[in-house]
Chains A and B, each alone.
Chain A
Amino acid sequence: MGEKMLMKGNEAIGEAAIRAGCRFYFGYPITPQSELTAYMAKKLLKMKDAAFVQAESEIAAISMVYGAAATGARAMTSSSGPGISLKQEGISYLACAELPCVIVNIQRGGPGLGSIQPGQADYFQATKGGGHGDYHLIVLAPSSVQELVDLTMDAFDLADKYTNPAMILGDGLIGQMMEAVEFKERKKIDLPDKEGWILTGCKGREKKYIVPFNLDPYEMEKINLKIQEKYKKIIEKEIRYEAINLDNADLIVVAYGTVARIVKTVIDNAKKEGINIGLIRPITLFPFPEKIIAETSEKINKVLVVEMSYGQMLEDVKLAANGKAEINFYGRAGGVVPTQFEILTEIKKYLT
């Protein structure tokens, strides 16, 4: 077991990435994730066979990731709201070309320039594709600094395993917060060999190429079907969630990330008032934990979705519940974080 360290979320992501073998970081400053960019500068500029580049823009940064990933290297970029929007072009290319990489979004209030306080309104963008075309990222939603560390490492493995970009969807609160973290010894897992597709020069072999297009629609459809096949596998194998107190709950809250940890405090306080609240916290947002939501909502029938948005994950919860439960919603956005008191008041509305 490693030693416990007190680390800021943003810096913990950087350390986790480096420990996961990421040696190439391309980014552009933006609040509230700039400490991650600074951390990577501090570390990678001193390492051999590594690179840190402050790109001229987020559009350039994601394409630098595309380039580095094409050589087989573990590469990462990070940003928030406006910068993540600019990365969408490159993300769509990465998904189509089936290149692994990790993209970190420390969400802030939107839309537009928005605010720099925490938000969760990039859920649609993260989980439904975000750029043009039919594709998905593997989306992981940490709710503590320790989980930022663990999921960042997992993200690199998952990206390599499925040759697909993975996204860490955090927010300004966990990015800025310091908590104790431990960098645990991880067991080695078998990952597919990259030799088949990486571009390193064709000495002694046939040339290879990476081209995210095909002008023949039937061939382009085949590319689509291949990645769709992969998403099916991801949905089958990679769903993760945390479930608390689902038996005998009066109401189930579905929340992720920062909001979910606030809900944990609500659960404790509600218990003192004799109210039994359950929580389903999706850890993977794509693939989404539909089954547990379907089963639980059928049993308990009262569900409250809480988000720092005006109802984005709500749509996935409704789809999962498929009309079998009453689905209610509470959200604050623009950078406002809902308090435990507001959430409890909201819960009580549905219990009378």
Chain B
Amino acid sequence: MLERIIISGFGGQGIMLMGRLLAYAGMLEGKNVAWMPSYGPEMRGGTANCTVLISSKEIGSPIVSHPKILIAMNQPSLDKFEPNVSENGLIILNDSLIEREVNRDDVSVIRIPADDIADKLGNSRAANMVVLGACVKKSKVVKMETIFKALEKTLAGRNQDLINLNKEALKQGAELVED
């Protein structure tokens, strides 16, 4: 098994954290993982993306040209990566910020009103966790409990309210998709 995931959005949306949690959870489940960020000055204000690989075998090339899963948190990200998603792949998009339809008809699409849900939870910055929750439930790349564990490890030492809020966001995202 080799999961190839690209997560993309604008700086400040918590793109890197989503990827790190997936990679961390993969590691906790005993898999090989790699996380690769876009880097450099193009990041500021502009788009940010990261790649996550989770595999039962040694990971060779850490570069993903054709992701099986694309998480697009804003419109430019969908424009950029949609054509590359592999056949029968999965696109999860942030419906709050993306109006257009997906052009591909050979992939599954899930639309999550992430910003709206996060706003209702009282923190617009939790939109990333809403989408991540939906992604984990749908794709089963890792178990939901492991994402919770990864969250606790990654945010260890931070305010417990923040961790609880993020957990709630993950749960609400998961509830939006069917098994």
Contacts and interface: CB of A to CB of B under 8 A. Distances in A.
Tell me, yes or no, whether A and B come into direct contact in the complex with CB atoms closer than 8 A: yes
Interface of A: 4, 6, 31-32, 116-117, 172-173, 176-180, 258, 261-268, 337, 339-341
Interface size bucket, B side? 10 to 19
Nearest to B24: A6
A6 B39 contact: no
Contact of B34 (A177, A266, A341): A177
Contact of A262 (B27, B58, B63): B63
A4 B27 contact: yes
A31 B39 contact: yes
B90 interface: no
Given A6-B20, A116-B40, A339 B63 contact: yes
Nearest to B19: A178
Contacts of A31: 39-40
A81 to B, nearest CB: 14
A258 to B, nearest CB: 8
Given A176-B36, A180-B27, A180-B32, A264 B58 contact: yes
Contact of A178 (B20, B32, B61): B20
Contacts of A267: 60
29 contacts: A6-B24, A6-B33, A31-B40, A32-B39, A173-B36, A176-B36, A178-B23, A178-B33, A178-B34, A178-B35, A179-B32, A179-B33, A179-B34, A179-B59, A180-B32, A180-B33, A261-B60, A261-B61, A261-B62, A262-B61, A262-B63, A264-B60, A265-B61, A266-B60, A266-B61, A268-B60, A339-B61, A339-B65, A340-B63
Contacts of B20: 6, 178
Nearest to A178: B35
A116 B40 CA distance: 7
From A4, A6, A176, residue with most partner B Cβ within 10 Å: A6
A6 B61 CA distance: 18
Interface in B52-106: 58-63, 65
Contacts of B59: 179, 261
B37 interface: yes
A173 B62 contact: yes
A340 B24 contact: no
A337 B63 contact: yes
A116 B33 CA distance: 24
A267 B33 CA distance: 20
Contacts of B35: 6, 177-179
Contact of B37 (A4, A176, A264, A265): A176
B104 to A, nearest CB: 20
A243 to B, nearest CB: 15
From A176, A264, A268, residue with most partner B Cβ within 10 Å: A176
Contacts of A179: 32-35, 59
Contact of A6 (B27, B58, B62, B65): B27
Contacts of A32: 39-40
A265 B60 CA distance: 5
Contacts of B23: 6, 178
A270 to B, nearest CB: 12
Contacts of A172: 39
A262 B99 CA distance: 37
A32 B39 CA distance: 8
A6 B19 CA distance: 12
A116 B35 CA distance: 18
Nearest to B32: A180
A261 B40 CA distance: 23
Contacts of A266: 60-61
